């Protein structure tokens, strides 16, 4: 059986539930989803500073998941915060929702667009496109210009803006697929795909299927080279929980 730890790096319980729902909707019958978020940290992640804070929470959860013997870990925030650090700490695979959605998009379209939240986080998506080697696959990036947690405020405004930006992307970008750029948008992909007639891809569900595939193939994070476990040294103060 496959047990996947899905980590919402922000501390929003509502968004953790949205993410968990999207993961469970696609999980195979033998797959168990453990949805978690850090007890402390940022209620939403909307920039480089928030990402640095969130990365510590991600690492704490990855350590707990490793100790619990999970089959793999998902970082369910579109900045993939702490991804490589998490891979050093983990024994099993770690997949970020941005990389998962981008990989899936390249399998169904020659170019994709991204629809994310705040304009200031567009640079984070651009950095990831560069890091993952997908820059030439991304036709355009759009932002709904609303804070992340409006996706959980029940007003429907953020969801309306996501739909509008997806329609704009479909009409103007010349791309064949759209990547949703936030964990909180995970529940919108299926309906938008059907309504708009273009693949709209959510990274949470994409990451679940990637971890299941890695598990089935017996593939785990390579410990040969730079993703080997961290060098052992006495970490002090608040970081002491990482020792041993
Ligand atoms: N681009 C984003 O909105 N990233 C995110 N911030 C969060 O708090 N969760 C996300 O997925």
ipTM score here?
Answer: 0.97
Q: Cα of 148 to ligand 1 centre, how many Å?
A: 6
Going residue by residue through the chain, which has 244 residues, state the pLDDT in tens, using 9 for 90 and above: 999 999 999 999 999 999 999 999 999 999 999 999 999 999 999 999 999 999 999 999 999 999 999 999 999 999 999 999 999 999 999 999 999 999 999 999 999 999 999 999 999 999 999 999 999 999 999 999 999 999 999 999 999 999 999 999 999 999 999 999 999 999 999 999 999 999 999 999 999 999 999 999 999 999 999 999 999 999 999 999 999 8
Which of 181, 187, 201 should be mutated for ligand 1, with most atoms under 8 A from CB?
A: 181
Picking from 182, 195, 168, 196, the residue whose alpha carbon sits closest to that of residue 18 is: 182
CB 55 within 8 A of CB 81: yes
CA–CA distance, 41 with 224 (Å, rounded to integer): 32
pTM higher than the cut 0.90: yes
Judged on CB neighbours under 10 Å (0-12, 13-18, 19+), 14 is middle
CA–CA distance, 125 with 236 (Å, rounded to integer): 33
78 lines ligand 1 (CB under 6 A): yes
Which of 18, 117, 123, 158 should be mutated for ligand 1, with most atoms under 8 A from CB?
A: 117
Decide: helix, strand or coil at residue 3. Answer: strand
Q: What counts of helices (H) and strands (E) characterise the chain? A: 8, 8
Helix %, strand %, coil % for the chain, to 5? Answer: 50, 15, 35
């Amino acid at each position: 059986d496959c047990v996947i730890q899905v980590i919402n790096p922000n501390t929003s319980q509502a968004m953790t539930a949205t993410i968990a729902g999207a993961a469970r909707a696609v999980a195979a019958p033998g797959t168990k989803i453990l949805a978690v978020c850090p007890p402390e940290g940022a209620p939403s992640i909307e920039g480089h500073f928030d990402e640095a804070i969130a990365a510590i929470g991600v690492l704490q959860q990855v350590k707990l998941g490793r100790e619990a013997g999970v089959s793999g870990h998902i970082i369910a925030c579109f900045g993939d915060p702490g991804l490589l650090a998490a891979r050093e700490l983990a024994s099993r695979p770690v997949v970020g929702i941005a990389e998962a959605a981008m990989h899936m998009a390249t399998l169904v379209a020659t170019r994709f667009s991204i629809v994310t939240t705040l304009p200031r986080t567009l640079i984070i998506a651009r950095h990831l496109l560069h890091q993952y080697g997908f820059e030439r696959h991304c036709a355009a990036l759009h932002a709904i210009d609303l804070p992340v947690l409006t996706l959980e405020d029940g007003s429907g405004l953020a969801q309306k803006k996501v739909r509008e930006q997806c329609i704009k992307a479909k009409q103007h970008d010349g791309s064949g697929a759209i990547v949703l750029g936030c964990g909180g948008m995970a529940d919108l992909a299926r309906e938008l795909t059907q309504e708009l007639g273009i693949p709209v891809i959510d990274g949470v569900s994409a990451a679940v299927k990637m971890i299941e595939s890695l598990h089935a193939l017996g593939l785990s994070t390579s410990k040969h080279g730079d993703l080997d476990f961290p060098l052992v040294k006495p970490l002090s103060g608040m970081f002491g929980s990482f020792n041993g």
